[in-house]
A = this chain, B = another copy of it.
């Protein structure tokens, strides 16, 4: 592998000049820069991350802290991971995964945290490196998330537009900002249209939403749409409507949320609000690296729109 030194010799300059071309190009004349770029190209120079890390007193490592239990977890993490990993790669950064099983928080330049709940606040605050959350929060920590409120508002509008008379919201029974935002998006639009919100919150498992539908089937006349805060809940609803031989999407509509994997497993395919998971992962990575380079300066929030992805569960 070619080193800085090799490039320097080839370009007839000192190592330092090459280093400057890479890190502070404005301090080098255009003439030399050209020579150096040329030499780098010819030698196919790739910086040595370890050396860079050592010299900068960095680790070139970002740790991803996953606070949820894996098995209760939605399958979107792989997309998040690839988004993060690919972005980090560009800056010669590595990713390290931390899960509940592996709490040992070694050294890193920064953290990305996901699956956070209120009770994890102390843990997060104890991290002594730049940190970015995946998932909205009201603790004032920089985050990346879908625009949950807007997302559900959009879906509610769509359901109304499609002529479903009754629109039932099935939320996730946790007291977290994302859940409140989704509910709020629904409520706001319902109120705007002079319709009565109808909200139930359940644990996020398909068997609970199925059981809920079963036990309350009489409450749901034809022309009802179930707006679910997750595809998982949506799956259970579909399953149980089918048990009652309900007609989807004619008499009953279902809209889920997340748009990763599960919506395609459903039959008919679930209409869902698809999140841009990979892009959000990349955004997390960019944000945490920026924060690292700016000595931990706050970066604010970044919200991504969801896409209403039509399946066979809505008219």
Q: Which one of B78, B104, B235 contacts A77 once the chains associate, using CB atoms below 8 Å?
A: B78
A300 to B78, CA, bound (A): 29
Using A1-B107, A265-B262 as known contacts, say yes or no to A99 and B75 having CB atoms under 8 A apart: no
**A239 CB contacts on chain B under 8 angstroms:** 267
Using A235-B265, A265-B206 as known contacts, say yes or no to A104 and B89 having CB atoms under 8 A apart: yes
Please tell me if A310 contacts chain B, counting CB pairs below 8 Å. no
A188 nearest CB across to chain B (Å): 32
Using A78-B77, A95-B97, A96-B85 as known contacts, say yes or no to A265 and B265 having CB atoms under 8 A apart: yes
Please tell me if A248 contacts chain B, counting CB pairs below 8 Å. no
**A54 CB contacts on chain B under 8 angstroms:** 48, 50-51, 54
**A107 CB contacts on chain B under 8 angstroms:** 1, 46, 48-49
A81 pairs with B81, CB closer than 8 A: yes
Q: Which one of B86, B94, B106, B210 contacts A46 once the chains associate, using CB atoms below 8 Å?
A: B106
Q: Which one of B58, B61, B66, B262 contacts A94 once the chains associate, using CB atoms below 8 Å?
A: B61
A59 to B50, CA, bound (A): 7
The residue of chain B having its C-beta at the shortest distance from the C-beta of A269 within the complex is B207
B99 pairs with A86, CB closer than 8 A: yes
A270 nearest CB across to chain B (Å): 12
A97 pairs with B82, CB closer than 8 A: yes
- For the side of the interface on A, what is the size category? 35 or more
A293 nearest CB across to chain B (Å): 18
Please tell me if A73 contacts chain B, counting CB pairs below 8 Å. yes
- Interface positions of A from 81 to 120, Cβ below 8 Å from B: 81-82, 85-86, 89, 92, 94-97, 99, 101-102, 104, 106-107
A160 nearest CB across to chain B (Å): 30
Please tell me if A60 contacts chain B, counting CB pairs below 8 Å. yes
- Interface positions of A from 45 to 71, Cβ below 8 Å from B: 46, 48-51, 53-54, 58-61, 66, 70-71
Please tell me if A212 contacts chain B, counting CB pairs below 8 Å. no
Please tell me if A261 contacts chain B, counting CB pairs below 8 Å. yes
Please tell me if A304 contacts chain B, counting CB pairs below 8 Å. no
B59 pairs with A81, CB closer than 8 A: no
- Interface positions of A from 114 to 166, Cβ below 8 Å from B: none
A107 to B60, CA, bound (A): 14
Using A106-B46, A235-B265 as known contacts, say yes or no to A97 and B70 having CB atoms under 8 A apart: no
Chain A residues with a Cβ under 8 A of chain B: 1, 46, 48-51, 53-54, 58-61, 66, 70-71, 73, 75, 77-79, 81-82, 85-86, 89, 92, 94-97, 99, 101-102, 104, 106-107, 206-207, 210, 232, 235, 239, 242, 261-262, 265, 267
Give 6 nearest A-B pairs by CB, closest first.
Answer: A75-B75, A94-B94, A50-B53, A85-B97, A50-B54, A86-B102
A selection of 15 A-B contacts at a CB cut-off of 8 Å is A1-B107, A48-B107, A50-B51, A66-B82, A73-B78, A75-B261, A77-B78, A81-B81, A85-B102, A86-B101, A89-B104, A92-B106, A206-B267, A210-B267, A235-B265
